[in-house]
Structure 1
């Protein structure tokens, strides 16, 4: 029988989606599920974006430019300019989601066997992107004990080898909600310049920053222009996950020209979704003010309720809408599956994402789960109550 590739065998399952069959069976069995496993906001998509698709006058749904439409990229550049990020539309390539942007970037700046340093835990698909590109992930391990703060720059520097080509961060972070300070960004920037590395920042949660803090982009660092690459997306910002529109932003022309070749090979990003994304840029600030206030309430509610459970440890996210929760268990994969298959409270159960898939270091995160607080406060309270009752009876 023909065999599949080694790369295919190495490609990891999504820790977020691999439990879907068990959830589907639980629903068939009559259970209701609180979905805390995936970052799909329940916030409404801005009406201006939906109306742009409903009421457009397109008669032929044609290809756009491979780098994205001029009008969309120009409005994107204006958006970044508001945050003191000095770019033009020529510094932007529109991609089919942030995922495609990272895939194109990995293939553009690294060869098979090269290394990328990533602070750990990290977005699980970073492993999938590196596997697709033949790139090795080198983790800089963070700890729940200090709220997943950035490891020391000395720790980062010790990980650099002749194979290292890039440092990748997510700011604010998925799955931890950690927000990098200006000081931390500047230290990473200095390290990237010193060792002639790319500094890549996944900034898709840029708007979701709490407690009076502000987001500082790597694109704001003076002297980093040739090293900095930002990955962005409309998915979370405008609750438009299904649009699958993201972008790659850099002042490095060689990087952009190389990424464009990969973009040309897939022809173009989706036209209708670009229309919606362009219109979404007209979303008023009041929308974000309301959304941020809602997420802060949800975060505070979730953390308060979780800390009432004996043996549970959780940090305080400063951005995004995720947190890592350490549970008094040994295997969160088994626990998450058991919740769906064998446990409920009055016909209700919870779906969480086992955190082991957010680590590349073997053995780490096995007693942790990631929770996305994308449900209303009342639902979060009920979901945590179910977790509390489940932990009383669960046996590893």
Structure 2
């Protein structure tokens, strides 16, 4: 048999999706699996987006422009201006999901063997894209005891070598829900300017901030024009995960020019999805107000219920719709699989994402899970009750 590539062998499994076969087998046995593992919102997609596709009269579904349609990019630049981000449509490259924007960014700023510093725990696919590009991830540990706040800037500086090309953050964070404040962003801005690095920010959860806190984009920071690259997406903002439309936003013309070459190799982003995404920009503010109110209620309910379980420690998210919970067990991977294979409470069980897959440092996060509070409140209460009873049974084994 011909050999599989070393790069392929090194590609990490998704901590979110690797348990899917066990979940499918549980469902086959008639078990109702409550999914706390994946950030697929149950919020309805805005009607404007769906109607734009339903009512379209396209007769030839042609390629779009490689960089994305001009009308969409111009409307996007107007959206950003409302967010106090002053960019033009020429600063935007439309991509097939935020994932492709991240891949194009890594390919544009780093060569094989180069390094990118990322606070951990982080979105697991950052590790996947870095591995695919031959880039080394240098993790900086943020701790649940500090609610996953930005680690001391000195910890970042210790890791900077001649191979370091960028610092990558997710703001608000997946999987922690932590929201970096303006002061933290400015500390990073000073550091990347001092060492002539890029600062890449995944801002796909920008709209979802709570407790009166405001999102501060790296693109609002003066003097960072040549350093700042933003990754964005419609997936979570408009509950349009299946559209697979994202974008790369930067004022650095060389980055746009270079990323465009990667984009030309895949021809163009999907046409219908761009039509839906452009229409979604007309979504009224009331939609977001209602969604944020719903997520705050879900978050508060989830944290309240988790606090009732002895030995559980949980970070308090101020953005996105995830939290990390530390459980009174040794191996969350084993526990998550056991939940699907061997446990149910009245015919129901829960699927969680073991958090070790969100860390790059070996051995970290082994007793932690990520929970996505994208389910209605009744399902959340039931899920935590199952988790509570399951922990009692599991620890008694």
TM-score by length of structure 2 reads 0.99
Partner of 1:221: 221
CA distance, structure 1, for counterparts of residue 84 and residue 289 of structure 2: 20
Q: Does structure 1 residue 202 correspond to structure 2 residue 202?
A: yes
Once the two structures are superposed, the pairs formed by residues 10-159 of structure 1 within 5 Å of their partners are 10-159=10-159
Structure 1 runs (4+) deviating above 4 angstroms are none
Structure 1 gap ranges (5+): none
Distance 2:332 2:145 in 1: 19
1:351 match: 351
Deviation of residue 119 (structure 1)?
Answer: 0.5
Secondary structure of the 1:212 match is coil
Aligned-residue offset at 1:315: 1.3
3-state SS, counterpart of residue 338 of structure 1? helix
Q: Distance in 2 between matches of 1:341 and 1:5?
A: 32
Distance 1:2 1:155 in 2: 43
**Counterpart residue number, 1:324:** 324
Deviation at 1:115, TM superposition (A): 0.3
- 1:228-377 counterparts in 2 under 5 A? 228-377=228-377
Q: Which residue of 2 aligns with 1:169?
A: 169
Separation (CA, whole Å) in 2 of partners of 1:77 and 1:274: 15
Pairwise CA distance, 1:7 = 0.2
**What are structure 2's unaligned runs of at least 5 residues?**
none
CA distance in 1, matches of 2:389, 2:11: 35
- Aligned-pair distance for 1:155? 1.1
SS of corresponding position for 1:185: helix
For 1:262, what is the secondary structure of its paired residue? helix
2:4 is matched with which residue? 4
Per-residue CA deviation, residues 308-335 of structure 1 (Å, 9 max, x unaligned), is 0000000110000000000011111110
Please give the secondary structure, in 2, of the residue aligned with 1:336: helix
Structure 2 SS opposite 1:364:
coil
The SS at the match of 2:287 is helix
Give, in whole Å, the separation in 2 of the partners of 1:76 and 1:199: 21
Equivalent position SS for 1:154: helix
Write the distance in 2 (CA, Å) between the matches of 1:62 and 1:330. Answer: 53
3-state DSSP class of the match of 1:34?
A: strand
> How far apart are 1:378 and its partner, in Å?
1.0
Structure 1 residue 57 displacement after superposition: 1.2
TM-score by length of 1: 0.99
Give me the whole-angstrom Cα distance separating, in 2, the residues matched to 1:242 and 1:49: 12
Shift of 1:144: 0.2
Give distance in 1, aligned partners of 2:168 and 2:270.
Answer: 27
* Aligned partner of residue 386 in structure 2, secondary structure: helix
Query: What is the root-mean-square deviation of aligned Cα atoms in Å?
Result: 0.6
> Is the counterpart of residue 383 in structure 1 residue 383 in structure 2?
yes
